[in-house]
Structure 1
Amino acid sequence: MDTTVLFNMSYGLYIIGAKDGKRNVGCLVNTVTQSTSNPVTVTVCINKDNYTNDCIKKTKEFTVSILSEKTKENIFGIFGFSSSRDKDKFVQVPFGLTPSGLPYINEGITGYMQCKVINFVDNFTHTIFIAQVQEAENLFKEPPMTYAYYRSVIKGKTQKNAPTHVNESEKTDIAKKVYVCSVCGYEYPSSTDEFEQLSNDYACPICEAPKNKFKLNLKNSSSQ
């Protein structure tokens, strides 16, 4: 079964914000969907291993920041490839607070929503949260970031906790040599010779890992 066909499905990219007591937590997801219009409800799918999942189950509320094509690349590394158990991700980015104190990104987004959980469903490795939108605001008139744009333009990879993660190493086609970030999977877009000539202080544009975290790998390069 060629699971890369799932890459053709339409998704957006979002930052989910929540609270752990007084501390802000958050993660990157690509599965937020409007469910009904009256009342306005959404569903959000979050991996059970994500600390944000635990916090939402406790507090029953969260925010959704809708990323735009102007989102800076480091956002994906901060929220997609590290854990809120270990650090406060929001201190590394511009953010605001809703009237009830929930965090949302306020740069590189189209807008945000504040949501109240009304139910949740166990879904194997993930939890599907069903929530009512309590507040919503448009902030910037920018095209929303799609999953396709993230993969084709930014050259980003899907973190292993995402419901849409696909193990691309299973493909067996003609291969070429590329330098790949061992932390987030970002592929350096130019030649291996150019990468080797980069300064030692080069950092991954997605997760900010240092140059020594890049490994020379073989990439399948024929049609998918």
Structure 2
Amino acid sequence: MKIAVIGGTGLIGSQVVALLNAGGHEAVPHSPSTGLDLLSGEGLAAALAGTDVVVNLTNSPTFDEASPAFFRTTMNNLLDAAKDAGVGHAVVLSIVGADLVPDLVYYRAKVLQEEILKSGPIPWSIVRATQFFEFVDAVLAWTGDAGTVRLPATPIQPMAAADVARAVAEVSTGAPLNGVRDIAGPEVFTLDELGRITLEAEGDERAVVTDPAAGMFAAVPGDVIIAREGAVIAKTSYREWLAAR
């Protein structure tokens, strides 16, 4: 099976490509570094020629008001080119609970991407993942200073990027779901608790202050971004991942 992985040189994409090729498929990574411009469509026809499946792992360069336009343009370009190329399955990576966080423009943009895929001409699958372990340091940096890190007590169920990649690879080689598969880590934390665990593991003596208004995740209501019944639960725990990195 020939699989085009758009965004195939990034954190998730590079692992998806490696897994698919190790499984005997022909997975080809595409990104701006390989000559593909998803915004303009340049390079798309060549990237999708002879392709059975296209996996879209691209991300908006910003989380702000520009993100909906990015996902609208890139998904429409990709689906138009996929239809012309006779691609039989389109896969997108999204976010668990994205449709339940209307106050975050980036989450609304991901829902827009999903809706374009669902209404498009190609059989489809959506893999919705919880937050990645690899992004926790960035989350702490958003609201941290020399002495403290301010975080809300938002419930999250993070997972390792390697587990995300395995789930995406599995869906990509199966029949189109024409539906959504949720994937999540094995543990639920509050974000402030996760911050304390992370700082302690890193030998960082800053204090975590619980602040319901701090950072992007302050806009998340209740526990909407943790897994619901039926989600696939990955095995890698956060402390295992911290110890291994």
For this structure pair, what is the TM-score category when the shorter chain's length is used for normalisation?
under 0.3
User: TM-score, normalised to structure 2's length?
Assistant: 0.24
Structure holding more helix per residue: 2
Structure holding more strand per residue: 1
